[in-house]
């Protein structure tokens, strides 16, 4: 049941992309354990605003774990300590009274900090622009039922397609690699017959763009899958490796 806890927050503040950032200490007192993590920051922000200080900037939107907007590193872990949970769905009952929480932005060279806890993840969009689609134009699709997809393939594709593009995998990876994100999109599209036609070109273009964006490479640390709020498995990375090796481009 609900109770109140007091916390100390050590939060990364950075004015903009070019400014130097630093940690600042804040008190979060009488936090209701039923609050979500973002609601806890809301409370701190209301207080800061009233004191005339600039509130902490953080990305969020749906607050139900699907838009992929939220995400910060709490005590070294992207999206905080609870597995398979986005920051917006993490609740304060997972923390103890008196705890100090260190909150930082997702860090990677390809994700420059925009302000405080907000980072620029547009690199993900550009990787998708390179090939994360099926080249079908509106209007030229045949009847949906003419194409059968085995249940197994449909489920494998769906498992991978659940990725919300939050970037936690990159932030968790000691190499700042985007393998889980890119692998998830490749698995989604490459296992389906609709996407198979362009498979070779897709894997090449996306990997090339991924490298160009400055993401690291994979040394199979598997931190990414542990941090992924959608439980995307590193099997998508293996599949990407295989497709890349076999592709004719």
Partner 1 sequence: MLVLASITKKQIVAATGLFLVLFVLGHLTGNFFIYGGSEAYNGYAHHLNSLRPVLNVVEAGLFLIFLLHMSLTISLLIENIQARGFRRYAVDRPVGERSWASRLIPFTGTYILGFVIFHLFDFAFVSHFGARSLINGIDRGLYGAVYNAFKDIRHSAAYIIAVSFLGFHLAHGVQSLIQTFGFENPVWSPRIRVLSVWIGGLVALAYSSIPLFILLYVKS
Partner 2 sequence: MLNPNIPSGALKDKWTHHKASIKLVNPGNKRSLKVLVVGTGLAGASAAASLAELGYQVEVFCIQDSPRRAHSIAAQGGINAAKNYPNDGDSVHRLFHDTIKGGDFRSREANVHRLAEVSNHIIDQCVAQGVPFARDYAGYLDNRSFGGAQVSRTFYARGQTGQQLLLGAYQALMKEVGKGAIKLHTRSEMQDLVVIDGVARGIIVRDLITGEITSYVGDAVVLATGGYGNIFYLSTNAKACNATAIWRAHKKGAFMANPCYTQIHPTCIPVHGDYQSKLTLMSESLRNDGRVWVPKKAGDTRPAREIPEAERDYFLERKYPAFGNLVPRDIASRNAKEQCDGGRGVSSSGKAVYLDFTDAIKRVGKAVIQERYGNLLEMYERITGEDPTTTPMMIYPAIHYTMGGLWVDYNLMSNLPGLFVIGEANFSDHGANRLGASALMQGLADGYFILPYTIGDYLARLKKSPVDIAGHEAFKQGVSDARQRIDKLLAIKGKQTVNEFHRRLGHLLWEKCGMARNKKGLEEALAEIPRIREEFWKDLCVVGSGEDLNQSLERAGRVADFLEFAELLVKDALTREESCGGHFREEYQTEGGEALRRDDIFSFVAAWEYKGAGTAPVLHKEPLNFEEVPLAQRNYT
Q: CA dihedral in degrees (14, 15, 16, 22; nearest 10)?
A: -20
Q: Is 248 a binder of partner 2 (CB under 8 A)?
A: no
Q: CA dihedral in degrees (219, 222, 225, 227; nearest 10)?
A: -100
Applying CB under 6 A, which part among 20-28, 34-42, 101-109, 157-165 lies near ligand SF4? 157-165
Give the contact letters, 210-249, x = binds to ligand SF4 (CB under 6 A), - = no: -----------------xxxx-x-----------------
Q: Is 150 a binder of partner 1 (CB under 8 A)?
A: no
Which option in ligand SF4, partner 1, partner 2, none does residue 220 bind, with CB closer than 5 to 8 A by kind? partner 1
Helices 179-191 and 235-246: crossing angle in degrees, nearest 10, is 70
Q: Is 68 a binder of ligand FES (CB under 6 A)?
A: yes
Question: Least distance in Å: CB of 178 to ligand F3S?
Answer: 8
Residue 146 neighbours by CB distance under 10 Å = 7
Degrees to nearest 5, angle at CA 181 with 78 and 153: 125
Residue with tokens 């936090």: 31
Give the contact letters, 158-177, x = binds to ligand F3S (CB under 6 A), - = no: --------------xx-x-x
Q: How far is it, in rounded angstroms, from Cα 134 to Cα 170?
A: 25
Beta-carbon contacts of residue 199 (< 8 Å; ≥ 6 apart): 189, 190, 243, 247
Q: How far is it, in rounded angstroms, from Cα 230 to Cα 234?
A: 12
Q: Is 16 a binder of partner 1 (CB under 8 A)?
A: no
Residue 114 neighbours by CB distance under 10 Å = 16
Nearer to ligand SF4, 101 or 178 (CB): 178
Q: Is 88 a binder of ligand FES (CB under 6 A)?
A: yes
Q: Is 86 a binder of ligand FES (CB under 6 A)?
A: yes
Chain residues that interact with ligand SF4, rule: CB under 6 A: 163-169, 180-181, 184, 227-230, 232
Chain residues that interact with ligand F3S, rule: CB under 6 A: 172-173, 175, 177, 179-180, 218-224, 234, 237
């Amino acid at each position: 049941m609900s109770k109140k806890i007091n916390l100390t927050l050590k939060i990364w503040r950075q004015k903009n992309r070019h400014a130097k950032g630093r940690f600042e200490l804040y008190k979060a007192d009488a936090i209701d354990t039923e609050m979500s993590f973002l609601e806890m920051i809301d409370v701190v922000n209301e207080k800061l605003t009233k004191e005339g200080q600039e509130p902490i900037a953080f990305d969020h939107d749906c607050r139900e774990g699907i838009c992929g907007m939220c995400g910060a590193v709490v005590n070294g872990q992207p999206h905080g300590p609870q597995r398979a949970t986005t920051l917006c769905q993490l609740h304060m009952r997972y923390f103890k009274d008196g705890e100090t929480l260190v909150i930082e932005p997702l860090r990677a060279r390809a994700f420059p900090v925009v302000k405080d806890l907000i980072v620029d993840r547009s690199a993900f969009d550009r990787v998708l622009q390179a090939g994360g689609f099926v080249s079908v134009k509106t209007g030229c699709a045949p009847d949906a039922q003419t194409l059968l997809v085995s249940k197994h393939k449909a489920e494998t594709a769906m498992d991978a397609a659940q990725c919300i593009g939050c970037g936690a995998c990159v932030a968790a990876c000691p190499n700042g690699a985007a393998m889980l994100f890119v692998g998830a999109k490749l698995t989604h599209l490459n296992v389906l017959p609709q996407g198979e036609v362009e498979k070779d070109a897709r894997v090449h273009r996306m990997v090339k763009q991924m490298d160009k964006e400055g993401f690291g490479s994979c040394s199979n640390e598997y931190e990414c899958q542990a941090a992924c709020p959608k439980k995307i498995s590193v099997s998508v990375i293996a599949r990407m490796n295989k497709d890349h090796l076999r592709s004719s481009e």
